[in-house]
């Protein structure tokens, strides 16, 4: 790997966290994750930032591997009590997790910047990498279903991603801009990686923040490689609605369908061996390809995929 190994990862929640964890194993503090905040939500008067917290807990090594979400050793006494008070509990917050949202919300009320709060939370948990909210301004994803526009977590958690998504929009995106921290990280990057996260609701909001896509293009102009990893394997998402969204938004549920979302933005596309037949049509989009095993099983699987991505990205 070349010089100081500064790498930026654009990430949503679970898929983002897995690759972030693998990259952190190689890069330590050289990794900066720019995380989606458009699926943030207010519950019980507290600001919850699901993608940031999934990445933070995973990088701190305190995520719940058995469930695939939340914190290890989590309990739900507070959620049960909220239920007794008649509060809606479809967005079930664990006891330990609640502490994160309490600190975040108290500090926001005191006027601290979301980026500064996030960094302090990460430091308290001993995270080696830096996780930056995509913007300090609030952005909220909404999806249009047969029943009209829904707030993202209504669709995702309350309705279990069952409604068909016809359109996606990001409320507040016009007033959101890249923070100095996000701009500096992209400026310093020797490689930029797009996680196998949902292209429409995890990656697109990050790229739509004013200044982010331009900074990535600026990096490309300096010959910094930009790499994306397919979250669609054999035509299906490992978790979540990305495959169904591809179809309902007018695309193909395949690694090729994902690659098309990043035309003109990336140099290298990483796809699974099972999709090797798509290599030629993906290359025809004007990008190089890396075919490998993209399922990140356990710590070794995460570090292996991260290493395979870093090699062509950084050894130019």
Site residues (vs Ca ion, CB under 5 A):
12-13, 39, 51
Q: Which of 114, 124, 116 is nearest to 36 (CA)?
A: 114
Taking CB under 6 A as the criterion, the residue among 58, 197, 254, 289 binding ligand GDP is 197
Q: Which stretch binds ligand GDP (CB under 6 A): 72-80, 98-106, 220-228, 233-241?
A: 233-241
Question: Is 289 near ligand GDP (CB under 6 A)?
Answer: no
Q: Is residue 35 part of the contact set for ligand GDP (CB under 6 A)?
A: no
Q: Which residues of 115-129 are buried (b: 16+ CB within 10 A; e: fewer)?
A: bebbbebbeeeebeb
Q: How far is the CB of 5 from Ca ion (least distance, A)?
A: 27
Residue placing its CB nearer to ligand GDP in the complex, 7 or 82: 7
Closest residue by Cα to residue 215 from 135, 291, 138, 275: 135
From 184, 213, 295, 303, residue interacting with ligand GDP (rule: CB under 6 A): 295
CA dihedral for 60, 64, 69, 71, sign (positive or negative): negative
Q: Which residue is nearest to ligand GDP (CB)?
A: 15
What are the backbone angles phi and psi of residue 292, rounded to the nearest 5°? Answer: -155, 180
Q: State in angstroms the smallest separation of the CB of 106 from ligand GDP.
A: 25
Residues forming a β-bridge with 172:
none
Least distance between ligand GDP and beta carbon 134 (Å): 13
Confirm if 309 and 229 have CB atoms less than 8 A apart.
Answer: yes
DSSP 245-290: HHHHTTS-SSHHHHHHHTTTT-SEEEEEGGGGGGHHHHHTTT-EEE
Q: Kindly state whether residue 58 participates in binding ligand GDP, applying the rule CB under 6 A.
A: no
Phi, psi of 94 (to 5 degrees): -75, 160
Place of tokens 């979400």: 69
Candidate residues 7, 12, 181, 216; the one interacting with ligand GDP per rule CB under 6 A: 12
Binding segment (CB under 6 A) for ligand GDP, from list 81-89, 142-150, 193-201, 261-269:
193-201
Site track for ligand GDP across 212-231, x = CB under 6 A = -----------------xxx
Residue numbers 237-276 binding ligand GDP by CB under 6 A: 237-240, 242
Structure tokens at 253: 């549920």
CB of 237 to Ca ion, least distance (A): 13
Residues lying near ligand GDP in the complex (CB under 6 A): 11-16, 18, 51, 54, 195-198, 202, 229-231, 233, 237-240, 242, 294-296
């Amino acid at each position: 790997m070349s010089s100081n190994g500064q790498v930026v990862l654009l990430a949503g929640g679970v898929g983002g966290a897995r690759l972030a964890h693998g990259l952190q194993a190689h890069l330590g503090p050289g990794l900066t994750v720019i995380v989606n905040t458009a699926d943030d939500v207010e519950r019980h008067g507290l600001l919850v930032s699901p993608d940031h917290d999934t990445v933070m807990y995973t990088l701190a090594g305190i995520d719940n591997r058995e469930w695939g979400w939340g914190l290890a050793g989590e309990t739900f006494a507070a959620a049960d009590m909220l239920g007794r008070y008649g509060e809606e509990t479809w967005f079930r917050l664990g006891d330990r997790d609640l502490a994160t949202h309490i600190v975040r919300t108290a500090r926001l009320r005191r006027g601290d910047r979301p980026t500064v709060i996030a960094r302090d939370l990460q430091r308290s948990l001993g995270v080696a990498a830096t996780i930056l909210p995509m913007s300090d301004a609030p952005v909220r994803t909404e999806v249009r279903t047969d029943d009209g526009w829904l707030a993202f977590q209504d669709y995702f958690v309350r309705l279990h991603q069952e409604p068909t998504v016809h359109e996606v929009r990001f409320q507040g995106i016009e007033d959101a801009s890249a923070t100095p921290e996000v701009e500096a990280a992209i400026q310093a990057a020797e490689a930029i990686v797009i996680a196998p996260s949902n292209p429409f609701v995890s990656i697109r909001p990050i790229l739509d923040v004013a200044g982010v896509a331009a900074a990535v293009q600026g990096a490309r102009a300096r010959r910094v490689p930009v790499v994306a990893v397919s979250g669609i394997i054999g035509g299906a998402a490992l978790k979540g609605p990305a495959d169904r969204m591809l179809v309902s938004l007018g695309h193909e549920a395949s690694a090729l369908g994902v690659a098309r979302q990043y035309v003109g933005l990336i140099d290298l596309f990483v796809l699974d061996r099972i999709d090797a037949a798509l290599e030629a049509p993906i290359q025809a989009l004007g990008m190089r390809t890396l075919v490998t095993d993209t399922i990140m099983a356990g710590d070794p699987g995460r570090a292996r995929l991260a290493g395979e991505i870093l090699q062509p990205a950084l050894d130019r």
